[in-house]
Structure 1
Amino acid sequence: MSDPDIIVTEVIDEEAAAVIGGGLDSFNDRSVGYSDRQSLAVLIKDPETGEVLGGATGRSSLGLLFLDLLYLPESLRGSGLGTRILKRFEEEGQKRGCRSAVVYTISFQAPKFYVRNGWRVFGEIPCAPIHPS
């Protein structure tokens, strides 16, 4: 077999995601001898329309809780709702046996929010977004 092509793309189709994610999942399962990964979402919905307004998404796996995204529209910020979402996310992680949790956030997003809610900073990488010319 000749060397495989290396392609850089901004499009991640379902097949590519399945090959990469499935391959890593299989490797992890073989390495630890079990599979316990589960997706997790805590959603905030409009009570009248049922429309999703924000919330948190992530997953649990191997005793770790991964918080991938947490978003609230500006109109709902500052009311304690973000903390309630985070607590529900953490509680579900604990029910699933997670002993630690990981989130990454950028300086202009919400690092202080996580610290106020008991999360610890374990590393920092400077990020100064570059504005297109």
Structure 2
Amino acid sequence: MASQRNVIVVSDQEDAEFEKSLGNGLDDFNRQMAGVSDRRPLCVMVKDPDSGDTLGGIVGRTSLGLAFLDLFHLPESLRGSGLGTTILAAFEAEARERGCRSAVLYTISFQAPGFYEKNGWVRFGEIASEQEGISRIFMSKRL
């Protein structure tokens, strides 16, 4: 039971130390319950060959046999060239290498559900937003 002296803080600021603390606590709990804690970041970056600047890519993670694709972005100038499919394939290949057999993501109806479907992802849920015609689409793929 929570103590009356605990303070709850709601914030819109990222806090790397806070995230690290939560991750460590979750890793410890997973290790106790499942006997393993294998949560790892999985990033696929597209770099400018001249400047070395990051142009786009994927941020995700793997844990307990599941890959989570959290963020995927390419600037408009790099879309439609097949690069997105190559990046997605690299993400999936690394997840397989880590022992993942499935992957999950969500996208927004105006973003890229067709792109993911073209690459073998399957819708398993959809939640409408308050804005007419816009929804979150949840997808998975067997790796």
User: 2:38 corresponds to which residue?
Assistant: 36
Residues 66 and 10 of structure 1: CA distance in aligned 2, closer, same or farther (over 3 Å): same
CA contact (8 A) 1:106 1:127 kept: no
Residue ranges of structure 1 left out of the alignment (5+ in a row):
none
**1:59 alignment counterpart:** 61
Range that drifts further, 17-26 or 76-85: 17-26
CA contact (8 A) 1:67 1:101 kept: yes
Q: How far 1:16 moved relative to its partner?
A: 2.0
Q: TM-score, normalised by structure 2?
A: 0.84
Q: Which residue of 2 aligns with 1:106?
A: 108
- Secondary structure in 1 aligned to 2:129? coil
- Offset, 1:60: 0.9
Report the counterpart of residue 80 of structure 2 in structure 1: 78
Map residues 22-33 of structure 1 onto 2, 5 A cutoff.
22-33=24-35
RMSD: 1.6
Normalising to structure 1: TM-score of the pair?
A: 0.90
Q: In structure 1, what is the equivalent of residue 4 of structure 2?
A: 2
For the residue of structure 1 that corresponds to 2:22, the secondary structure is helix
Cα distance in structure 2, aligned partners of 1:55 and 1:112: 18
Q: Kindly report structure 1 stretches of 4+ aligned residues shifted beyond 6 Å.
A: none
Q: Tell me, what secondary structure is at the counterpart of 2:58?
A: strand
Asked whether 1:15 is paired with 2:17, we answer yes
User: Partner residue of 1:50?
Assistant: 52
Aligned-residue sequence identity (percent) comes to: 57
- Deviation at 1:3? 4.4
Query: How far is 1:35 from its partner?
Result: 1.8
CA contact (8 A) 1:58 1:65 kept: yes
**Higher strand fraction: Structure 1 or Structure 2?**
2
Greater CA drift, 67-76 or 28-37? 28-37
1:105 shift after superposition? 0.7
